[in-house]
Amino acid sequence: MEGGSITIEPGCSLRGEVMVPGDKSISHRALLFGAIAEGTTTIHGLLTAADPCSTADCLRAMGVNISPLGTKDQPVVVEGVGLDGLQEPEDVLNCGNSGTTMRLLMGLLAGCRGRHFFLTGDASLRQRPMARVSRPLCRSMGANISGRDNGNLAPLAVNGCQLRGGTIGTSVASAQVKSALLLAGLMANGSVSVIEPIRSRDHSERMLKAFGADLQVTGDHGRHVRLNPGQPLQGQEIVVPGDISSAAFWLVGAAITPGSRLRLLQVGLNPTRTGVLEVLQTMGAQVQVERQRQIVGEPVGDLLVRHGPLGPFSIGPELVPRLVDEIPILAVAALFAQGTSQISGAGELRVKETDRLAVMTRQLKAMGAVVEETADGLVIQGPQKLQGAQLDSEADHRVAMSLALAALNAHGPSPIDGADAAGVSYPGFWQQLQQLGSN
């Protein structure tokens, strides 16, 4: 890779076994919950990518001892400082590109009485909406958070204070929002109930319970979560499963690339995350789940995927939270399916690391694709023939990896600028692609 650019030459199939990197959502939470627990938390298989590194660095700046993240196969050890043990940092906390770091920290720090925190991030993160967290924290729980655009844009200032409990209906189905409110609830003087419009991923609920928090999930489809404060968290031994959002690139890559056959090992199969498998099943993709098992509170399994004929799919608002990060690669899948695929109710993609609906449309069009961008989704008629073209990730990790699999199935080579963005969630992606392609 030179200057962050990499050229994809089409024509190979993808074959072999892949151990996808650890789940990003679970990795952030393991670090954060470990930091405020009592005692030691040992994390096996933590994702050592840029985003979790941002979380670890912020926690270190507040006095938490965390062993280096870079050493492969070595567990990461977090020495917890207890619920109210985070120190006021000497400098601004830099969350990098990571929305999860910033939003979860907002909840965690809002209740650290008498301490002041400043949060910032890269150019992308400073444009992303934070009012979805700061508003309920301030209005319903009495937090003191300010920032540009009325507390909506970073840099943000969090003045820790005594929080109160309450019942909060969230306006978006977002695990980041829900988790921030639950973390704030740990420090509140009464119970916090969070009610979501549609249930989002539930890693926080599972892990908080495992750490000993007093938490109940009720309501239809688990949309209602109640946390009672006062229970200290206890350090745990955690095994992070492979990230299904990273596995999705190989699932779609193998499904659309002739001659491909991949086995993906120990992939997280939490039902709040498996929307991509349901879509692939609807498409008639050859995906088999093997060796389903439970690893420290999270379901996992191996996935065997082969190339084959594909039909179209339809994704509506109810399904979006269960595959929100997989929509860019599913847009690529739609180009190789026989028929018209529709994605709607996905307006949230416009406030991710980039406006992913616009960026995917723009980049796929550069390859000659016909993609209709709607206000909250995409309409794609397949199958289409793609031409190799000059592409750009626009600094978005999931766009970079989605374009790689599209380019592998185009006619002619495609240089992808900003390929290094993949390191935000998938270090070693390009080497893995090269290896699977040469098998």
243 binds ligand S3P (CB under 6 A): no
Count of H helices and E strands in the chain? 13, 23
Q: How far apart are CA 207 and CA 1, in angstroms?
A: 38
Which residue in the block uniquely carries the two structure tokens 């019942």?
A: 167
Q: Does 175 sit near ligand S3P (CB under 6 A)?
A: yes
Rg (alpha carbons) of the chain, rounded to whole number: 21
Is residue 174 near ligand S3P by the rule CB under 6 A? yes
User: Which of residues 54, 124, 176, 260 is near ligand S3P by CB under 6 A?
Assistant: 176
Q: Give the span between the Cα atoms of 66 and 208, in whole angstroms.
A: 19
Q: For this structure, is 325 an active site residue?
A: yes
Contact 19, 35 (CB under 8 A): no
| Start-to-end C-alpha separation, the chain | 20
Site string for ligand S3P, 99-138 (x = CB under 6 A): -x--------------------------------------
Q: Answer yes or no whether residue 325 interacts with ligand S3P by CB under 6 A.
A: yes
Instruction: Let me know: does 247 contact 277? Beta carbons within 8 Å.
Output: no
Q: Which x/- pattern, by CB under 6 A, does the window 9-48 give for ligand S3P?
A: ----------------x--x--------------------
DSSP string of 4-31, one letter each residue? TBEEE------EEEE-PPBPHHHHHHHH
From 9-17, 113-121, 170-178, 281-289, span contacting ligand S3P (CB under 6 A): 170-178
Question: Nearest approach, Cβ of 128 to ligand S3P (angstroms)?
Answer: 9
Which C-beta is closer to ligand S3P: that of 198 or that of 304?
A: 198
CB of 177: closest distance to ligand S3P in angstroms? 6
What is the C-alpha separation between 187 and 183, in angstroms, rounded? Answer: 7
User: Could you say whether residue 324 binds ligand S3P (CB under 6 A)?
Assistant: yes
Distance CA 340, CA 310 (A): 11
Q: Whole-angstrom Cα distance, residue 373 to residue 381?
A: 12
Q: Which stretch binds ligand S3P (CB under 6 A): 55-63, 171-179, 189-197, 412-420?
A: 171-179
Catalytic residue among 202, 325, 392, 420: 325
The nearest distance, CB 353 to ligand S3P, in angstroms, is 9
Residues that bind ligand S3P (CB under 6 A): 25, 28, 100, 174-176, 179, 200-201, 324-325, 348
The residues annotated with a catalytic role in the active site are: 325
